[in-house]
Structure 1
Amino acid sequence: MGALDEPDLCSGKGCRAAATHALLWNNPKIHTPERRKAWLACPDHLESLRSFLGSRGFIRDVVEHEKGADHTV
């Protein structure tokens, strides 16, 4: 299996599972309002990553992720 065949991986610490969602976020103290960073999440880590970003007021949106998609703006 080559690098092109490998899935985009979850951003959860140590996770090697395929990402199914992208959590779009920004830190309003350092990013402009339209700026979006992205963390990828597998089904097992979606809620914990959403909770982490949400508790800090960083989460802006959660969208389905397709392999190779760039969700940053």
Structure 2
Amino acid sequence: MTERQDPTCSARGCRRPAVWALRWNNPKLHTPERRKIWVACDDHREHLEEFLSLRGFLKDTVSTQELG
């Protein structure tokens, strides 16, 4: 049995605990209902949201606790 590890931020080089889940999809590759997830710490949330938003990929952002 493996222990569940808390997610770490998806920003390059960051090892902080992630507290946000950015749900996105690339409409050229994914069906409309498919959601990929990047996770972010408080410091990188805005940067990652902007990156995804500029490409039209970001669907929503929720707390990692809401993911279950």
Partner of 1:45: 44
Aligned amino acid, residue 7 of structure 1: D
CA–CA separation in structure 1 for the residues paired with 2:31 and 2:12: 27
Task: Return the TM-score normalized by structure 1.
Answer: 0.82
- For each residue in 1:17-36, what CA deviation from the matched residue of structure 2 results, as whole angstroms up to 9, or x when unmatched? 00000000000001000000
Unmatched tracts of structure 1, length 5 or more: none
How much is the aligned-residue C-alpha RMSD, in angstroms?
1.6
Partner of 2:60: 61
Task: Return the TM-score normalized by structure 2.
Answer: 0.88
Unmatched tracts of structure 2, length 5 or more: none
In structure 2, do the counterparts of structure 1 residues 17 and 57 end up closer, same or farther at CA, with 3 Å as the change threshold?
A: same
Within the alignment, does 1:26 sit opposite 2:25 as a pair?
yes
% identical aligned pairs: 52
Aligned amino acid, residue 37 of structure 1: K
CA–CA separation in structure 1 for the residues paired with 2:28 and 2:6: 32
